[in-house]
Amino acid sequence: MSHPDKYLLNDPKDLVVESLQGLCATHNFLGLDGPNKVVFCKDYEDIKENQVTLISGGGSGHEPAHAGYVGSGMLTAAVAGQVFASPSSGQILKALRRVASPDHGSLIIVKNYTGDVINFGRAIERARWEGIVKDIKMVIVADDVGVTSGQEARDPETGEASDVGRRGLAGTVLVHKVAGAAAALGESLDEVYRAAQSVTSNLATIGVSLSTCTVPGSSGESRHLGPKEVEFGLGIHGEPGFETKPLETVKDTVTQMLRKILESPEMRTKLGRHQTKPHSVVLLVNNLGSTTLLEMNAATREALLYLRSHHVRVLRAYTGAFVTALDMHGISITLLAVHESREKAILRYLSHEAHVPGWNNASGASEVSLSALTIPLRKEGSQTLLSAENLAAHNAPEVAVEGSGFLRDVWKPAIIAACESAIEVEPTVTRYDTVWGDADCGLTLKSGATAIMDGFSKDADFHIPLDTKAPDHTIAAISELVEDSMGGTSGGLYCIMLDAVAAQIQGLTSEIGNDGLTLTQWAQCLTAALETLQRYTTARKGHRTLMDSLIPFIESFGQSASSDQQETTLQALSKAVEAARQGMEATKKMVPRRGRATYIGDQGSADSEKYQIPDPGAYGLVAIFEGILKANQGSQ
């Protein structure tokens, strides 16, 4: 839930003007009529003398719309209302008096909301009576296909059912772009109007979100979605959508959105499979407010893949924040269907540069290349050495891949058990890391463990080899998978340790018996690998890191190997796991001296609640050791 006092302002009424002042101060080609909240091109006198002028606007809270699209190549002026409220007809009339072109005419672009249509309409009629402009036309954008047939739309200001029809959403920006370019290229008002109408009549947009939005000065969100719920079809003022579902993957969510668009009456006749030559499309993926770029780009990828799978050609693709809904955590997807006869003109308009704050000319500059969407896995370097094909060239395939002897009977069960243990403790590790780190330790560990387990699958593209003639390849392959799946500091530490162990085992290959490494050999390999690891990290025992588990584990192995009591490897492993566990428990009272935990407050307060939990990395490593021990005990 969003916090109601999250916005940086003293009075909600001041926020809109203050925002427009900041916009204009940082873009010196923009002027501001503060009392009427009108942003305009400073060179509007030259513009209206030479071309059709464009005016748009609406409620605030949708930034960069609408003031962010004022400038050369798009709007001549934009009128802002208060948050989610239409500007008054008086404000709009002030904008028309300033920028309406008496000779070339003006085009008004309005989103389909009752207040906007009425107030802009009244201003237009007043301007006509005053003789401000030779001719003036209005285009109403209604691209929302989330309002299903037979469902009443809701007025954004009153919440009451109305006959207003489909709402205007992010597709409005494509109308701004096309009409603005047509005007800048010197086309007449009729031509600019037709260009805008051709876009409006071929638009379809649907929104989806994990939250509604918080209006400045309100007591909080008007509605609340569950922590794992997603709402389809909601409006840019937080109006309810047509369906709420359990949260699914990005792919599933985007698929449902595009399916809804393609099945809508607006798009079905243009993009349906029955068409002998369906239209191409322009794709716009819009950030509704607080969605991360990581999510935005992933959603764009899925949209492109879906459209390709349905044989829909994407002429241009745009991703970004175009028409937001304050802090709403969601996206909308817009398709503009482009008929072959209009393709050349639409691409010309879209390619025409616009110098405005809210439009990136580098985005969507050329037809979308789909080659980057699916990059095949290539085996390079050590992956080639470790590939099943390479091993099979020197051994029977079933030996290279399936393995035999101690690798199949001892190592593989132990590795799988270690991974299962790491996956099982992920929630606990994540909870601990939420207190002491950035909450990613558990998921990172789980990701590595899952990748390793997948590496034993016959269907895996990258197999973990189990060849008793080259046991070092098994460890090196695991290191490769860890690097690809984990990342971060912990992933790097695991990889260095695994690579060092592989190198030590490689030197012992000719001495390894049919039962695998002896206790002495294990101690030798682990001790040497630890020395290698310590060349790359200054973390040691007592620093509150995973080293507080790893070092006692390896030291215990060394002590068992040098003992006169002739311990078995299993006995030594049991003692080593206990030593690691004790080291992990000791971290509960340690002041962190390495790692991300050093940036967390209260380091010096040993009595703080934070010190009642162990280091997450040390805890996760002990779980891995315990899994190995459990598997070995079960095999005895």
Q: What percent of the chain has pLDDT over 90?
A: 61
CA distances from 3 to 6, 73, 85, 264, 325 (A): 5, 38, 22, 36, 16
At 8 the pLDDT is: 54
Listed range (215-219, 364-368, 456-460, 528-532) with the worst mean pLDDT: 215-219
d(CA 574, CA 552): 12
At 253 the pLDDT is: 95
d(CA 323, CA 421): 46
- Residue 339 known to be catalytic: no
Tokens of 313: 């050609």
The number of C-alpha atoms within 13 Å of 453 and in the hemisphere containing its C-beta is: 14
What confidence tens digit (pLDDT) does each residue in 261-304 have?
999 887 888 876 555 566 799 999 999 999 999 999 999 999 99
> Do the annotations mark residue 59 as ligand-binding?
yes
CB 252 within 8 A of CB 258: no
At 573 the pLDDT is: 96
Look over the chain and give the mean of its residue pLDDT values, rounded to a whole number. Answer: 86
**CATH numbers and ranges of domains, the chain:** 12-153+161-351 (3.40.50.10440), 382-635 (1.25.40.340)
Q: What is the mean pLDDT of residues 453-475?
A: 86
Of 366 and 630, more confident: 630
Evaluate if residue 355 carries a pLDDT over 70.
yes
What is the distance of C-alpha 109 from the center of its chain?
31
Q: What percent of the chain has pLDDT over 70?
A: 83
d(CA 480, CA 483): 5
Evaluate if residue 613 carries a pLDDT over 50.
yes
Q: Which residues contact 435 (CB under 8 A, 6 or more apart)?
A: 600, 610, 613
Q: Of residues 104, 176, 237, 473, which has the active-site annotation?
A: 237
Strand partners, 40: 31, 77
What confidence tens digit (pLDDT) does each residue in 367-387 have?
777 666 765 544 455 555 555
Q: Please classify residue 457 by burial: count the beta carbons closer than 10 Å to its beta carbon, then call 0-12 exposed, 13-18 middle and 19+ buried.
A: exposed
What confidence tens digit (pLDDT) does each residue in 565-597 have?
888 999 999 999 999 999 999 998 887 665 554
Residue type for position 58: G
> Do the annotations mark residue 515 as ligand-binding?
no
d(CA 467, CA 482): 20
Listed range (256-260, 521-525, 598-602, 621-625) with the worst mean pLDDT: 598-602
At 395 the pLDDT is: 42
Evaluate if residue 388 carries a pLDDT over 80.
no
What is the distance of C-alpha 516 from the center of its chain?
46
Model confidence band, residue 311 (pLDDT cutoffs 50, 70, 90) = confident
Model confidence band, residue 154 (pLDDT cutoffs 50, 70, 90) = very low
Q: What is the DSSP string of 408-464?
A: IIIIHHHHHHHHHHHHHTHHHHHHHHHHHS-S-HHHHHHHHHHHHHHTTSTT-SS--
SS3 103: coil
At 605 the pLDDT is: 53
> Do the annotations mark residue 330 as ligand-binding?
no
Bond from prior residue into 413 cis (ω within 30 degrees of 0): no
Q: Please classify residue 175 by burial: count the beta carbons closer than 10 Å to its beta carbon, then call 0-12 exposed, 13-18 middle and 19+ buried.
A: buried
At 108 the pLDDT is: 98
At 156 the pLDDT is: 40
What confidence tens digit (pLDDT) does each residue in 498-533 have?
999 999 999 998 899 888 999 999 999 999 999 999
Of 490 and 593, more confident: 490
Evaluate if residue 228 carries a pLDDT over 90.
no
Strand partners, 284: 318, 334
SS3 530: helix
> Do the annotations mark residue 155 as ligand-binding?
no
Name the strand (E) or helix (H) holding 626. Answer: helix 616-635
Strands 77-83 and 38-41: what pairing? antiparallel
Residue 45 burial (CB count, 10 A)? 11
Q: What is the mean pLDDT of residues 246-261?
A: 93
Evaluate if residue 324 carries a pLDDT over 70.
yes
Tokens of 336: 């503009």
> Do the annotations mark residue 455 as ligand-binding?
no
Tokens of 301: 């990828």
Q: pTM for the full model? A: 0.72
Residue 219 burial (CB count, 10 A)? 9
Q: What is the mean pLDDT of residues 159-168?
A: 60
Listed range (50-64, 146-160, 440-454) with the worst mean pLDDT: 146-160
Q: What is the mean pLDDT of residues 198-208?
A: 96
Residue type for position 310: H
At 176 the pLDDT is: 98
Model confidence band, residue 138 (pLDDT cutoffs 50, 70, 90) = very high
Residue 122 burial (CB count, 10 A)? 15
At 590 the pLDDT is: 83
Listed range (12-16, 43-47, 337-341, 520-524) with the worst mean pLDDT: 12-16
At 361 the pLDDT is: 86
What is the distance of C-alpha 338 from the center of its chain?
28
d(CA 167, CA 235): 8
Listed range (219-228, 300-309, 481-490, 514-523) with the worst mean pLDDT: 219-228
Tokens of 253: 């969510």
> Do the annotations mark residue 60 as ligand-binding?
yes
